[in-house]
Amino acid sequence: MSAAFLDLPQFVSAAGTLRLPGSKSLSNRVLLLAALASGRSEIRDLLASDDTARMLDALRTLGVGIEPAGDGAFVVDGVAGALPVRTAELFLGNAGTAFRPLTAVLALAGGTYRLSGVPRMHERPIADLVDGLRQLGAEIDYLAGEGFPPLLIRPPRPSAAAVVRLRGDVSSQFLSGLLMALPLRGAETTVEIVGELISRPYVEMTLAMMARFGVLVQRDGWQRFTVAAGSVYRSPGVLPVEGDASSASYFLALGAIAGGPVRVEGVGRDSIQGDVGFADALVAMGARITLGENWIEAAAPGAGSLRGIELDCNHIPDAAMTLATVALFARGPTTLGNIASWRVKETDRIAAMASELSKLGVRVDSGEDFIRVHPPGATESLLPAVIDTYDDHRIAMCLSLAARGAPLRINDPRTVGKTFPDYFERFAAMTRPVPVVAVDGTSASGKGTIAARVAQALGWHYLDSGALYRLTALAALRAGAAADDEAAVAAIAATLDVEFAGTSIRLAGDEVGDAIRSEEISRAASLVAALPAVRSALLFRQRAFRRPPGLVADGRDMGTVVFPDATSKVFLTASLEKRAERRLKQLIDKGIAANIRDLVQDLAERDARDGQRSVAPMLPSSDAELLDTTDLTIETAVAQVLGWVNEVPEKG
């Protein structure tokens, strides 16, 4: 995976079984509670991610003994509510599930601590939590903007307060963090919620985990929560972490939009995570869902298509993001409401999702607490798009599903490391991309003619990638840019207005099929193709031709760089003399004078140049079928390539 981007091919189906990584929300809750408890805890199936790494680093800095125990398990020696380190600076990245509860715990711990994160964390509001903690005597200062991290926490003032009033309509993490910290007070404390409490399933998760560690919170509906005096955490011994229900949503969605069945293991009908409610939303859209004790399976509707819905998403705020992409493949618009909390996450997720979904060519409406997605019409298709991820793991994972309808480029794909480091590897294993036959070979070996006829025989799309470089050379010539001016030519390539329609090739609306075959353009195209910036600019453009039912791609690097996962790869060769004869016939047919000796020399020089250049040397892929066409007719060569294609078993 490139650090800069990852290109996802359009996929035609998805099926398989996936063991989920541990829940991020549960992992960080369990780590914190095990640290505060008395006794030793063994935590199994802990999520390995950026968020949990931030929590682990912080707890170790605070003096908590934590050691790996193999197979994703950790042993935590609890401190019985008394953190050994009373002065520390903690960097928590963009991990809200670490920053918010640690703020609450450290505000009552009796030490001096500085908490900071990445710039986006410093834009995420925390004033409501700080206001609640100050009612209990907490001494917390904002070190930059009022109401936002970074924070300086000092030992709290003595306080006899028994009731805390806390807003519940910004983030449920404020209530969860406060509740987990309250046993440190030693006095009965009640939290009263002002307004509506959002994301209630995450609060239920917190209450369930506190109960596992021996602290029962008395609840009066969703308005009052009381932690009794003398409440202390005690280790439950061994505690497994459920699979992440939010992560499950991406793969359940795959099953719903791409056939399935797709089964996720690690969560099931008895999960304590609210995001398992995503399965109910898929049922409402028409998907087929089956639940077991520790698994969920999803498949597309038995007949017809998914249908758009209107849904209050307060109970599944994270998984609801996945529904916004599923909506692209439904009949009729989908409206997701009560999602104001999206705006204070890793990024403003309402704005980000609206922006990125719009790149696919669909209409998206949004407001303060809703998003509405209008899928493409029956005769329309999604557009290939470059997706920005805003340093937000869920944007990257949600939008990857759009590759069901169009090729995508995902910028900064490594952001998934926050919760699901090997997400794209798992995604690739579960999906079957549009098949590709990559045809490469020496000049005049017949690859263009053979590839075009193979495409015609299969009923697939055809890409003459060499034409793209010729078109770039022609466009550069028309713009007055020198063929070796890398920056200028790359800029032209990035905005190339090209249309392929049968044998027609148009550049900016002009028919240029003959113009790009001139010797002048051929020489310029060879120079242009050696420029790294130009090749990079044209890479995604070439991959965007990969559309159902399949693609036959002809040209340099097709099987090695552009489509390394091609279903079939063929490299054509022929003797120098035979290739010169073919080139001579082409030129004579066009009324161009030439002689065989000059053509042999020209091809020999081109072979040497193409084979020695540092960028894209003319070499076959190690897994390509080699075909010498010297003594073959076009019909025989095409039949051989089709034979190889038909021998390849379909994935899945």
Residues with catalytic roles:
318
CA 301 from chain centre, in angstroms, equals 25
Neighbours of 122 (CB within 10 A): 17
Instruction: Tell which residue, 335, 343, 404, 399, has the closest CA to residue 373.
Output: 335
Q: What is the DSSP letter of 558?
A: I
Residue 142 to residues 133, 410, 437, Cα–Cα distance (Å): 14, 36, 59
Residue 81 to residues 32, 74, 136, 183, 610, Cα–Cα distance (Å): 11, 19, 17, 8, 69
Residue 39 to residues 35, 78, 199, 234, Cα–Cα distance (Å): 9, 5, 31, 6
Task: Please give the structure tokens belonging to residue 605.
Answer: 């020089």
CA 200 from chain centre, in angstroms, equals 27
The bridge status of strand 498-501 relative to strand 504-507 is antiparallel
Instruction: Tell which residue, 279, 289, 283, 339, has the closest CA to residue 309.
Output: 283
Q: Give the H or E element holding residue 625.
A: strand 625-628
Backbone angles phi, psi at 623, to 5 degrees: -110, 20
Instruction: Tell which residue, 573, 604, 607, 600, has the closest CA to residue 584.
Output: 600
Q: Within 13 Å and on the Cβ side, how many CA atoms surround 475? A: 24
Q: Is 404 helix (H, G, I), strand (E, B) or coil?
A: helix
Residue 451 to residues 70, 398, 463, 498, Cα–Cα distance (Å): 52, 36, 9, 20
